[in-house]
Structure 1
Amino acid sequence: MHLPRSPGAPAAGSRPSGTADEPAGNPGTGMLERAFAILRVLAGEQQHGVRVTHLAKMVGLTQGTVHRILQSLVVEGMVEQDEHSKLYRLSVDFFALAAQAGNPGSMRTLCRPALLRLCASLGETIFLLVKSGFDAVCLDLCEGPFPIRSFTGDIGGRVALGIGQGSLAILAFLPEAEREEIIRFNVPRIRGFGVLDEVYLRTEITRVRELGYASRSNGVSDGMAGVAVPIFDRTGCAVGALSVGTLESRLGDDRLPMIVELLRRQADAIGPRTNPFDAALRRPLRGLAGTRNQAIS
């Protein structure tokens, strides 16, 4: 015998509204809120990834609900699951989408006006370098009237971090753990330049950190000299360097402070405008090991 259901009472077997998993109101809004809660937790755990059980506890939902939402996000390409560890992370597509909404200009486009201004005002060759694994890569340059020899050569050329003022300015201001791994890996590579060894490199790094810039001749390229300042993004991370390459005779003590000041002004203006998702700027520490087996030019 079935008793009649009073008006407004839930049907047998149905879930009451207003629970943690099924909030009252528009169901679509509730689903959206839960999805964003999950995305926020994943963003905070991006380095290691998260299991469904841990994620469910952090957002206050059942494992079944979290799993269903995660699968929807995987289908949309916003979340990925490691097939071995079963941990969930935000996907590359998620960051690509964020990049489209961020600063649309690439690092090279952003810095090009600064290179032109510096080249015109100083009459020197100006380089833009960014970090790539254990190397610094020349992303752009603006040639001055004096013929010079640079370690990276033309645009796209690379050199081990620690060789040349631009790469040294980047290396000196990287996070300590990342800097130490690069030093250990690069010391055997820089020994091919003759005067450089680990003691020399560490001494130069300390000097650059104290001064805030890398300068002068390092004795590797006769007659050539340079000065470079790091470019810091809005979080204070060194993501690149502006560098002047010139003749040693043109970088005396009387001219050096002026050049450093001009470089710093441009670097300070560029830093807060850098796109944090620009592929040219982000090389995670855990990704460095993958470059160990690559041939380095």
Structure 2
Amino acid sequence: MDMGTTTKALRMLDFFSLTGPEIGLSQMTRLTGYNKATALRLLTELVEYGLVEQDSDTKQYRLGSAVLRLAHLRESSFPTRTVARPFMKDCVEQSGECCHLALLDGFHLNTIAVEDSSAHSTRVVIDAAVRLPLHATASGLAVTAFGSQALREWVQTEKLEQFTSSTIVDPAKLEPVLERVRTTGLAESPDGFEIEVHGIAAPLFDAKGLAIGSIAIATPSSRMNEELRQRIYAILLNASANITRAWGGSFPASFRQHIQT
């Protein structure tokens, strides 16, 4: 595959998160906007690389075993989840709420680990298959505020999707939110991506001091109060510092003031 074809084919993998475990050619054509011949050619090439499988009976497509192999190789060479798990468990134990870890992938975030809480009968359930937008989630806002210039330019120039009535899509209104994140070291998104979900997140940094991911706690909005908010603030800043150090990352000067060194 040439580079352009490779990019188109790999982008098709994202659409498997929008459907059930399997997807048909006609549905993939509608989702991608490609014509049927192009969609079939790209799916066939993905099948050849083991990234996609086709059921011989239903002719439906699903993610292939090569995806698991690549995920294993990634975790073996850079054990992000393994290293972060103990700190995520601490977040859940101390807050009584769900915790999730996300990594930047282009102009979205992918959830790579979730730790659930059994402290409450009503709790947020995180769907790891759903990609997190930069502008509508606490995780996305945390990464954008402390990430590359390209991320900030993207949210200023793209047509942003309105997920709920609380989603901020106006760049002029989004910039003060990002500035507040830089000031506090934390991002909040009350009902911005899902109704009745209040997310709070802290950024995670690479060796260059750029945000590449986030650690977040999600709670039902009805349970959020000032005491819980302040507790989550302290929990997440501590977790951010610990995970960043464990990953071999470094803190930019704008964030170093928020953590204990």
CA distance in 2 between counterparts of 1:234 and 1:138 reads 21
**1:252 aligns to what?**
225
SS at structure 2 position matched to 1:255: helix
Q: How many residues align?
A: 171
C-alpha deviation, 1:143, in angstroms:
1.0
Per-residue deviation, residues 160-219 of structure 1 (Å, max 9, x unmatched): 21121111111111122442134423xx24235444222232232122112210125145
Question: Is residue 200 from structure 1 mapped to residue 176 from structure 2 by the alignment?
Answer: no
SS at structure 1 position matched to 2:142: helix
**1:170 aligns to what?**
143
**Larger radius of gyration, structure 1 or 2?**
1
CA distance in 1 between counterparts of 2:163 and 2:94 reads 35
Question: Is residue 160 from structure 1 mapped to residue 133 from structure 2 by the alignment?
Answer: yes
C-alpha deviation, 1:128, in angstroms:
0.3
**1:243 aligns to what?**
216
Paired-residue identity, %? 23
State the TM-score, normalizing by the size of structure 1. Answer: 0.52
**2:241 aligns to what?**
268
Question: Is residue 215 from structure 1 mapped to residue 188 from structure 2 by the alignment?
Answer: yes
C-alpha deviation, 1:273, in angstroms:
2.5
**2:6 aligns to what?**
none
Could you tell me which amino acid in structure 2 is paired with residue 233 of structure 1?
D
Relative to structure 1, is the Cα distance of residues 183 and 134 closer, same or farther in structure 2, using a 3 angstrom cutoff? farther
CA distance in 2 between counterparts of 1:106 and 1:275 reads 11
Could you tell me which amino acid in structure 1 is paired with residue 142 of structure 2?
A
C-alpha deviation, 1:251, in angstroms:
2.3
SS at structure 2 position matched to 1:191: coil
State the TM-score, normalizing by the size of structure 2. Answer: 0.58
Could you tell me which amino acid in structure 2 is paired with residue 176 of structure 1?
Q
C-alpha deviation, 1:141, in angstroms:
0.6
CA distance in 2 between counterparts of 1:273 and 1:220 reads 30
Relative to structure 1, is the Cα distance of residues 167 and 251 closer, same or farther in structure 2, using a 3 angstrom cutoff? same
Preserved contact between residue 161 and residue 182 of structure 1 (Cα < 8 Å): yes
CA distance in 2 between counterparts of 1:189 and 1:216 reads 15
**2:99 aligns to what?**
126
Name stretches of at least 5 consecutive residues in structure 1 with no aligned partner: 1-99, 277-297
C-alpha deviation, 1:154, in angstroms:
2.0
**2:111 aligns to what?**
138
CA distance in 2 between counterparts of 1:133 and 1:216 reads 21
C-alpha deviation, 1:220, in angstroms:
5.1
